[in-house]
Amino acid sequence: MTLHPAAPDSGIVFRRSDRGGAEIKACWRNAVEQPLCTRLDDGEGLSVATIEHLMAALGGLEIDNAVIELDGPEVPVMDGSAAPFVFLIECAGIAEQDAPRRAIKVLQPITVGEAGKSAALTPDDGFSMSFAIDFASDAISRQDIAITVDPESFRSDISRARTFGFLHEVDQMRAAGLARGASLDNAVVISGDQVLNREGLRYVDEFVRHKVLDALGDLYLAGAPILGHFRGVRSGHALNRRLLKALFADPSAWRFTTLARRMPPEAAWQEAPRRARA
């Protein structure tokens, strides 16, 4: 996989070099419902699977425009989190483009749900997320988290949380042709009430933090950052996609707005004396 710079307002685009450079846009309209990962499909045989961790890295670091070139149908799993993508993106550098940054402002509450699961967006001035999970396994049990999402909190509190699953789910994904390289090196694997990974967990509540990471990646398929609060209760990729579909189906529930530029701390320090003298 190679990440390339892209022009302003071009968005996130996946390019399959093994398919003659065919491209598919990272958009909720191109996402198909699949329980264990997020997959883009153009309906004509072009697809890219397991995009959610990379999309979370792009969303968490506020990357609006990029071309992701792949030589196969699935994004590399890396260590099962977004941290390797964050590290490599920041090593390459992030350029500020000469164009206003658009966002999607939530104006009215939108909720979708089924069988004890729900996903909701409500109005807010910034972007925050909360999530609750409840598993029968004592290794996970009940976990709940709330966080205001910005690049700093994403790096420290969310990006390192790894994907997790039970042994039977790993077998299910492999049968579907996904996660062929899945191992204890790139996922937290649970058997009954035990975590099988020798090194243990990166966060005490790593499981719910990874659900936030997944939801962030799914929500970035909106095509722009969201101003609002996301609340997930045992929701997954399919329900997160339905939430975006419900949001955009109601024109009164959202509008585009322009975000103010985020000023780095050192720039703010340098700017203060000039403002004082003006």
Instruction: Read off the pLDDT of each residue in 216-238 and give the average, rounded to a whole number.
Output: 97
Mean pLDDT rounded to a whole number for the chain: 91
Query: For residues 48 and 26, what is the distance between their CA atoms, to the nearest angstrom?
Result: 10
In a domain, 273, yes or no: no
The answer to whether residue 237 is catalytic is yes
In a domain, 135, yes or no: yes
**Based on the structure, what is the number of domains in the chain?**
1
53, 210, 229, 237: the catalytic one is: 237
Residue 26: pLDDT above 70?
Answer: yes
Q: What is the CATH number of the domain that holds 232?
A: 3.30.1700.10
pLDDT of residue 183: 76
Whether the model pTM is above 0.85: yes
Task: Supply the range of the domain harboring residue 22.
Answer: 2-260
In a domain, 126, yes or no: yes
Residue 25: pLDDT above 60?
Answer: yes
Q: What is the pLDDT of residues 107-117, one digit of tens each?
A: 999 999 999 99
In a domain, 272, yes or no: no
pLDDT of residue 266: 46
Q: What is the pLDDT of residues 99-146, one digit of tens each?
A: 999 999 999 999 999 999 999 999 999 999 999 999 999 999 999 999
In a domain, 128, yes or no: yes
